[in-house]
Amino acid sequence: AQSVTQPDIHITVSEGASLELRCNYSYGATPYLFWYVQSPGQGLQLLLKYFSGDTLVQGIKGFEAEFKRSQSSFNLRKPSVHWSDAAEYFCAVGEESNYQLIWGAGTKLIIKP
């Protein structure tokens, strides 16, 4: 069955430190991969997405993610976090033949001053 796993329910990072949020998926076909962010009281906003080509994808707000087919992973990274990055981050997976996205449970990012 198709699934998306975000192993970390929450992560605490000091402001200015680097960040990596993990996402692993189980999918039969070549997946479309997405990272969305949800700030408190807000809807979800797309950070970046991957379909094909260069496996390192740049997104908004200084985020990037790397698709590693051998590890079935699509981890999200940021070299230096800001207090405004405190939010919940969701990984989602889809494919062309199935329009429905499969969503992870989310990782809540907490920023220490």
Partner 1 sequence: EAGVAQSPRYKIIEKRQSVAFWCNPISGHATLYWYQQILGQGPKLLIQFQNNGVVDDSQLPKDRFSAERLKGVDSTLKIQPAKLEDSAVYLCASSYSGRARETQYFGPGTRLLVL
Nearer to partner 1, 15 or 73 (CB): 73
Kindly list the residues in this chain that would bind partner 1 in the complex (CB under 8 A). 4, 9, 32, 36, 41-46, 49, 51, 90, 92, 94-101, 103-106
3-class secondary-structure state, position 13: strand
Residues for the chain: how many in total?
A: 113
CB of 84 to partner 1, least distance (A): 18
Give the whole-angstrom CA distance, residue 65 versus residue 24.
12
CB of 83 to partner 1, least distance (A): 21
**Residue 19's closest CA among 81, 64, 69?**
81
**Residue 71's closest CA among 36, 24, 111?**
24
CB of 2 to partner 1, least distance (A): 12
CB of 26 to partner 1, least distance (A): 15
3-class secondary-structure state, position 54: coil
Nearer to partner 1, 13 or 91 (CB): 91
Nearer to partner 1, 4 or 87 (CB): 4
